[in-house]
Structure 1
Amino acid sequence: MAHKRLGIVVGGGPAPGINAVIGAAVIEAINRGFEVIGFYDGFKWLCSDNFDPPTHSVRLDIKRVARIHFDGGSILRISRTNLLDNESLKTSTVVKPDPYKVGLVVSRLRELGINCLLTIGGDDTALSSRFIAEAAGDRLRTVHVPKTIDNDVPLPQNQATFGFATALNYGTQLIKNLMQDSQTTGRWYFVTAMGRSAGWLAMSMGISAGATVTLIPEEFTERSSVQRIADVLEGAIIKRRVMGRPDGVALIAEGLAYRLGDREELERLLGRSVPVDAAGHPRLAEVPLAEMLRQEVQARFRARGENMPLVLHTIGYELRSADPTPHDMAYCRSLGYHSIRLFEDGTRR
């Protein structure tokens, strides 16, 4: 490889440690003779007809990234724009590339002299990276660093995804505070936690903080109901009362909403449309699962002549761009460093 030019793209949602990956990758790449270009806002501009290199990309150097591993967020920002053919997903479960977008990105990278591409993101970003690699052939090497605070990617040796440890750390502290408030005021909290495809984050926060009850999608069948989920919550409240405790914190993984059905079923239950994100996933923030459960549980207590105050709270966005813990800083710097080593071994990844 004569002139080595690396491009970096960050896609999906924020996760603590992104900057640590970027920083270590840039430093190692420059030390190995690469020129490094970062692209703002994921694939948003690269696959747009309005792409303007001076505006939508930046040359990265060691001075710019030397201390960014301490910071949350992403210096390249982020977006959920991907290169998947989302229209085909409406009629098929086979994920296909969007030929126009993929072709546009490959062409742009070639024009900019990018011969190595590092992507950081979740499953949609990983698929987009794969489609680019297949379209570009031997002209472009790609390496992908998986990212999600949900910890729903099966990594080798059961390694957690980066950002998960930080999200767990801060989330546990928030749950602890809510438990103290619950005990002080003598009331119940229904707390929704992020986790679209898996309940790892909710379960781990619940175990760490000692939440009264934690509900995750893995413990319910594919076609559960609000009533079935409410059975568990009502039972927990009653059992707690028998123990002389009127307070409690129920932690609910947001992905539990998918156990109520697909997008069409969710829309039927809500009586309105459910928006989807850029990747075609129903926006779980638009599905008021906790409110539906609160109404169901309160109705049951009213039927017994009781008033049951329940407070709703959501934990999620405040975890995604938190400053990484030392664990995630070290982990992510290692990921960034070794991603560049992969480019150097002469194979396409």
Structure 2
Amino acid sequence: MKKAIAILTGGGPAPGMNSVVGSVAKTFLQKGYQVIGLHEGYSGLFDPTPRTTEIDFLLADDIFNRGGSFLKMSRFKPTDKNFAEDFNLDFFVNNNIVLLVTVGGDDTASTANRVAKFLAEKNYPIANIHVPKTIDNDLPLPNNTPTFGYQSAQEQGTSIARTVYTDARTSENWFIVAAMGRSAGHLAFGIGAACHYPMIVIPEMFNRTEITVEKIVNMVISSIIKRKMMGMNYGAAIISEGVFHSLSDEEIKKSGVTFSYDDHGHPELGKVSKAHIFNEMIENKLKELGIKVKSRPVEIGYEVRCQTPIAYDLEYCSLLGMGVYKLFEAGDTGCMVYVSQAGTVEPIYLKDLQDKNGKIPPRLVDIDSTRVQMVLDNILNYVTEEDYERARIFVKNPEAYDLANILEWK
């Protein structure tokens, strides 16, 4: 029987999913392997009758440059009981599968780590290689290398945010934009910096103080006041949804939002409009202060996940796909494929990234980096100590809207 590989995609979509799957398939098919696509993420590994599709070269070529994922995705998280009782080894044995390729983000990578350890403990002769994706850009790849999908999502998000900013300037309104990013603010920061938004709010900015609803609101108000002092009655603020993820239960209650939670224990932020919530709170505070500003909410979320990948990700995902074969041929397993900016392929072992709970911690925005500090110092508009006297025209206590005071950076 011909040797085979299996591929699954987990978590949420990101531009380049099909590009990776197509590249992996084309590479292995040309080396004489059969390629089996496993639908519904990890759930297929614990199902006695998994839903599969054999991927031939024609199918791989057809899906390569499309958005979305041909292989249906799932956020299924197997329990220890699933591993002990439901792991479908027969699927691997009956199909002569020698390699499992998993494509996903931090949760998928953490589960891939569990699969790799499980296979090793049971002495099952099946290699496992993970391909890191996420539009959140929060997997800890070396040298600040992006995860695939991020560049395409930032491009689409920037297109939306740029149009929104043009509307703000044209109508002399403010827009409150929320962007995806569960644990880290890479996407919101990247979009905001590209569009010269006068206020960007990401979790990493609260490195010296607790995140609260009041502080988030006051940061946006600070920018509104500063722009008014500059003679500008318009603007836009972009807020990472990750600030919700970092709020305490008490602070979440203050926001008035009740979340449901996914299989990994994360609040299902996609079910609510964070932009609408923030906009309501900001409007209420502006009314209380007597500052006349029209503001509108805009959500940048699902719109960027399934777009057609840009050239960067098409090439990057091709290298990742081919890199899977290179690592497999070298005998590597239990690792992520890493392609450097120079195009070299190396394994990153999941066991070396995990914390004491077996989870892979997210890569955060380096708030102290020169790149970030230049944006904070030169693009954002906010109240500083030098503005206090002029700011009193709008508020009695301008020091409460001084960004350095809000974030306790002084």
CA displacement at 1:4 relative to structure 2: 2.0
Tell me which residue corresponds to 1:39: 38
- 2: distance between equivalents of 1:11 and 1:102? 21
Match for residue 240 of structure 1 among 217, 227, 237: 227
Match for residue 110 of structure 2 among 98, 104, 127: 127
Tell whether the 8 Å contact from 1:149 to 1:161 is kept in structure 2 after alignment: yes
Aligned-residue sequence identity (percent) comes to: 35
CA displacement at 1:31 relative to structure 2: 1.4
SS at match of 1:24: helix
- 1: distance between equivalents of 2:213 and 2:290? 22
SS at match of 1:148: coil
Change (3 A) 1:250 1:65: same
- The answer as to 2:197 corresponding to 1:215 is no
- 1: distance between equivalents of 2:332 and 2:270? 41
CA displacement at 1:33 relative to structure 2: 1.8
Q: Which amino acid aligns with 1:214?
A: I
Q: Which amino acid aligns with 1:43?
A: Y
More displaced, 286-295 or 61-70? Answer: 286-295
Tell me which residue corresponds to 1:90: none
- 2: distance between equivalents of 1:203 and 1:304? 28
Q: How does 1:195-210 map to 2 (within 5 A)?
A: 195-210=181-196
Match for residue 69 of structure 1 among 58, 64, 82: 64
Tell me which residue corresponds to 1:88: none
Tell me which residue corresponds to 1:52: 49
Tell me which residue corresponds to 1:17: 16
Tell me which residue corresponds to 1:112: 95
SS at match of 1:252: strand
More displaced, 338-347 or 148-157? Answer: 338-347
- 2: distance between equivalents of 1:202 and 1:103? 42
Change (3 A) 1:204 1:272: closer
CA displacement at 1:129 relative to structure 2: 1.8
Tell whether the 8 Å contact from 1:193 to 1:316 is kept in structure 2 after alignment: yes
Q: Which amino acid aligns with 1:333?
A: S
Q: CA RMSD in A?
A: 2.0
Q: Which amino acid aligns with 2:34?
A: E
Change (3 A) 1:102 1:284: farther
Q: Which amino acid aligns with 1:128?
A: T
Tell me which residue corresponds to 2:237: 250
- 2: distance between equivalents of 1:274 and 1:266? 13
- 2: distance between equivalents of 1:238 and 1:200? 26
- 1: distance between equivalents of 2:277 and 2:58? 51
Change (3 A) 1:102 1:309: farther
Tell whether the 8 Å contact from 1:10 to 1:120 is kept in structure 2 after alignment: yes
Aligned residue pair count: 329
- 2: distance between equivalents of 1:47 and 1:294? 43
TM-score under structure 2 normalisation? 0.75
CA displacement, residues 181-202 of structure 1 (integer Å, 9 cap, x when unaligned): 1111110000000111111111
SS at match of 2:331: coil
SS at match of 2:178: strand
Q: How does 1:117-196 map to 2 (within 5 A)?
A: 117-137=100-120, 138-196=124-182
- The answer as to 2:74 corresponding to 1:79 is yes
TM-score under structure 1 normalisation? 0.88
- 1: distance between equivalents of 2:172 and 2:65? 39
CA displacement at 1:269 relative to structure 2: 3.0
SS at match of 1:26: helix
Change (3 A) 1:109 1:247: same
Match for residue 279 of structure 1 among 244, 264, 267: 264
Q: Which amino acid aligns with 2:219?
A: V
- 2: distance between equivalents of 1:280 and 1:300? 32
Match for residue 312 of structure 1 among 292, 297, 316: 297
Change (3 A) 1:224 1:300: same
More displaced, 72-81 or 132-141? Answer: 132-141
SS at match of 1:6: strand
Q: Which amino acid aligns with 1:125?
A: T
Change (3 A) 1:22 1:134: same
CA displacement at 1:312 relative to structure 2: 0.5
Change (3 A) 1:283 1:266: farther
- 1: distance between equivalents of 2:186 and 2:202? 8
More displaced, 136-145 or 17-26? Answer: 136-145
Match for residue 227 of structure 1 among 184, 195, 214: 214
Change (3 A) 1:129 1:139: same
Q: Which amino acid aligns with 1:296?
A: M
Q: Which amino acid aligns with 1:105?
A: F
Tell whether the 8 Å contact from 1:13 to 1:78 is kept in structure 2 after alignment: yes
